[in-house]
Amino acid sequence: MFFDRKMSDAEGLMWRLEKDPHLTSTFANVSVLDRKPDFDQLRRRMERASYAIPRLRQRVAPVPANLSAPMWVEDPDFDIDLHVRRIALPKPGTLRQLLDLATLVVADPFDRTRPLWQFVVVEGLRGGKAALIEKLHHTITDGERGVQLSLEFFDFERDAPEPPPIDPDTVAAHQPVDDSGVVALREFLAGSMRLPIGVVRQVKELLSDPTQLPDASSAAAHTFRGIVSQLSDTEHARSPLWTERSLRRRLEVARAPFHETKAAAKRLGGTLNTAFLTAATDAASRYHREMGSPVESLRASMAISTRTESSGANAFSLVRLLVPTADMPIGERFAAIHEATLSAREQSLGAGLDTLATLASTLPTSLVTRLARQQAQTVDFATSNVKGSPVPMYVAGAQLLENYPVGPLAGVAFNMTLLSYLGSLDMCLNIDTAAVADPALLARSLERAMADLVAA
């Protein structure tokens, strides 16, 4: 699996934004297992994976003078035991206890001087079960590529033979030396930025003094107008309840049948992704009505994959759209969201996330984080949908039973992420409890919304 040594501009932006802890881009999976995995075997598999996927042994190295996005370099002090750990829950070992532990693990910031991933085996779940919390930083990969990456340590049968070991000396011989500063300078002088340095300079001047627009080059003027169009969307999020933001988190999960939900979406004239967003919207609508504060519409953000054969570790764009939350039949809500989703996808074609990220690389981090927080305040909730395996998966002799993805919150009231697995849609709500006062009500509302959708 190929990984660039240099972060993309979008990945560099995610890295810089973490100066504000509200904007962390850490994501995770909470995988429930049918039994305790063989920890020593898992440790060996992850040691091997760290050679097969060099990114797992690399840390982030800032580029001198911020000439470009950061580079990935070998961690000379890599220690697998810092990344693969195990812990046991106290009795009775409930799912609620597991989710509360996962909340703490995901919220704990990465050591930025080491590789940005951690696996935690959790033993002691009720019924002899266990769990695996897989935590990664978004600069390593997105959810879709992360599923591919998992094939290095997941198996398709319980007693699968371990793959042959990888010779570390052979891998090391093919690793490039740490010349990140030289590479960055060469790229800078060669003009390999997505935007020519002259255009970047002009755009920065236009942002500080828009009256210069008539005299700007056509490229700078076009870029400036696109940026202004996106940043001028400062309409505040619409929920009368979800007005506060904090670093307090709670995870809630729900499940729905994959095939029945997909069939319902087809009957209603849309896709599974439309059904997922409809369920999230309907849950938000029910929550507001139950709390005595009905609302006509909310603003949602949706992650859209832009992956192609040549894409790097991250390939996605984010779009915002208004979703109807008035009391209405689920089929009517589905139709309205289907139209809104089609429109949002068309807009995403010219969203210019990479362009914004390239320009952001030339701006002070304090300004970039302020702009990002301002944009986050325009969104009530976020959604993301990732395709998983349709067949059973195993890790170190234990079968995955449930597989809940935890998406980054990034300043919104909640993030609802879905991962399809083994005929099920496994959903996780990552909730800011300062905004959502009753997380359990939101989870119950989601379950009812999915049931109504399947029955539509």
pLDDT at 144: 64
Is residue 409 over pLDDT 80?
yes
**For residues 23 and 130, which has the higher predicted lDDT (pLDDT)?**
130
| 435 & 349 share domain | yes
Residue range 260-279: mean pLDDT, rounded: 94
Identify the CATH number of the domain in which residue 21 sits: 3.30.559.10
- pTM of this prediction? 0.84
| 257 & 221 share domain | no
Where does a domain end: 183, 206, 240?
A: 183
Identify the CATH number of the domain in which residue 269 sits: 3.30.559.30
**For residues 12 and 439, which has the higher predicted lDDT (pLDDT)?**
439
| 52 & 170 share domain | yes
pLDDT at 31: 97
- Residues 6+ away with beta carbon under 8 Å from 398: 33, 34, 35, 36, 37, 38, 130, 158
Percent of the chain having pLDDT more than 70? 75
Is residue 350 over pLDDT 90?
no
Please tell me the total count of domains within the chain. 3
Residue 62: what residue type? P
Phi and psi of 388, rounded to 5°? -115, -160
Q: Is 38 a member of any domain?
A: yes
Q: Is 394 a member of any domain?
A: no
Is residue 41 over pLDDT 50?
yes
Is residue 371 over pLDDT 80?
no
| 340 & 448 share domain | yes
| 277 & 365 share domain | yes
Q: Which of 308, 276, 311 is nearest to 381 (CA)?
A: 276
Residue range 360-388: mean pLDDT, rounded: 81
Q: Is 400 a member of any domain?
A: no
pLDDT at 215: 59
| 212 & 119 share domain | no
Is residue 367 over pLDDT 50?
yes
pLDDT at 140: 87
- Alpha carbon distances (Å) from 19 to 118, 139, 191, 384: 21, 15, 28, 24
pLDDT at 375: 79
Q: Is 401 a member of any domain?
A: no
| H or E segment and range at residue 250 | strand 249-257
| 44 & 87 share domain | yes
Residue 54 preceded by cis peptide, ω within 30? no
Tell me which residue has tokens 């063989």: 38
Tell me the average pLDDT of the chain. Answer: 83
| 262 & 328 share domain | yes
| 254 & 219 share domain | no
- 23-37, 55-69, 212-226: least confidently modelled range: 212-226
Q: Is 289 a member of any domain?
A: yes
| 337 & 223 share domain | no
**For residues 8 and 266, which has the higher predicted lDDT (pLDDT)?**
266
Q: Is 395 a member of any domain?
A: no
| 90 & 220 share domain | no
Residue span of the structural domain in which 306 resides: 249-385+415-455
| 207 & 291 share domain | no
What is the DSSP code (8-state) at residue 86?
A: E
Q: Is 451 a member of any domain?
A: yes
In angstroms, the CA 193 to CA 204 distance is: 15
pLDDT at 190: 39
pLDDT at 106: 96
Percent of the chain having pLDDT more than 90? 57
Residue range 410-422: mean pLDDT, rounded: 94
- 79-83, 210-214, 307-311: least confidently modelled range: 307-311
pLDDT at 234: 63
Tell me which residue has tokens 């904090």: 246
Q: What is the pLDDT of residues 156-194, one digit of tens each?
A: 999 999 999 887 776 654 454 444 444 444 444 333 344
| H or E segment and range at residue 320 | strand 316-324
Tell me how many degrees the CA angle 56-103-145 measures, rounded to the nearest 5.
35
- Alpha carbon distances (Å) from 357 to 70, 73, 139, 251, 332: 13, 22, 13, 30, 37
Q: What is the pLDDT of residues 103-124, one digit of tens each?
A: 999 999 999 999 999 999 999 9
